[in-house]
Amino acid sequence: MIPLSESIKYAVAPLKVSANDKNQSIELALNSEGYYFHDKKWIAEGLSNIIKNAIEHTNIDGEIKIILEETPMSISITIGDNGEGIDECELKNIFKRFYKGKNSINPKSIGIGLSLSKKIIEAHGGSINVKSELEKGTIFNIIFLKVIV
Ligand SMILES: Nc1ncnc2c1ncn2[C@@H]1O[C@H](COP(=O)(O)OP(=O)(O)O)[C@@H](O)[C@H]1O
Ligand SMILES: [Mg+2]
């Protein structure tokens, strides 16, 4: 079984170039292996949509931090940025298919990235949540339970 830490590294590798272009750092704090039955390519697709958004919506010199943590019950992946943030009234919509925020990047934005990420994570038994503050940054948290409840 491939640990989630491997899939995170696999997702981040091709995005380092665009982060470097903006002089942004992507810090990985992989505090455990995160053994969890999953499809590496699909999970990497789901993670990379979130990381791409973080790069797009964070300024030059910004910081993106990815943390993998594990408890006996669950594995948590946190993807945080110190970018422009998302307006509170938009937060409930960002996982909807074709929803593009006020800050969306034209003409690149289609609005399917996060809806696909959520689908992939839920198809693997996980859940995803977001917290954000304008001009402070955004944190996405993904939880996979290791036990069936
Ligand atoms: N890290 C982030 N910081 C600020 N806004 C974000 C971030 N991630 C997502 N968003 C907002 O959520 C919207 C939906 O994201 P997504 O589904 O990936 O669509 P797209 O990137 O094609 O616009 C974006 O248009 C943007 O407004
Ligand atoms: Mg996107």
**Burial class, 62, CB count within 10 angstroms (exposed 0-12 / middle 13-18 / buried 19+):** buried
pLDDT digits (tens, 9 = 90+) for 86-120: 999 999 999 999 999 999 988 889 999 999 999 99
Residue range 48-70: mean pLDDT, rounded: 97
- Does residue 64's CB lie within 6 angstroms of at least one atom of ligand 1? no
Check residue 6 and give its pLDDT.
Answer: 98
More confident residue, 148 or 127: 127
**CB 77 less than 6 A from any atom of ligand 1:** no
The amino acid that residue 31 corresponds to is: N
Q: What is the CA radius of gyration of the chain?
A: 15
**Residue to mutate, 94, 115, 142, ligand 1, most ligand atoms under 8 Å from C-beta:** 94
pLDDT for residue 108:
84
pLDDT at 64 over 80: yes
Q: Which CATH number fits domain 4-145: 3.40.640.10, 3.30.565.10, 3.40.1710.10, 3.40.1350.10?
A: 3.30.565.10
Residue 57: is its pLDDT beyond 90? yes
The better pLDDT of the pair 149, 39 is held by 39
pTM of the predicted model as reported, rounded to 2 decimal places: 0.97
Measured in residues, the chain has a length of 149
Six-digit token pair at 107?
């003409």
Percent of the chain with pLDDT over 70: 99
Domain extents for the chain?
4-145
CA of 81, closest atom in ligand 1: 1
pLDDT of residue 149: 65
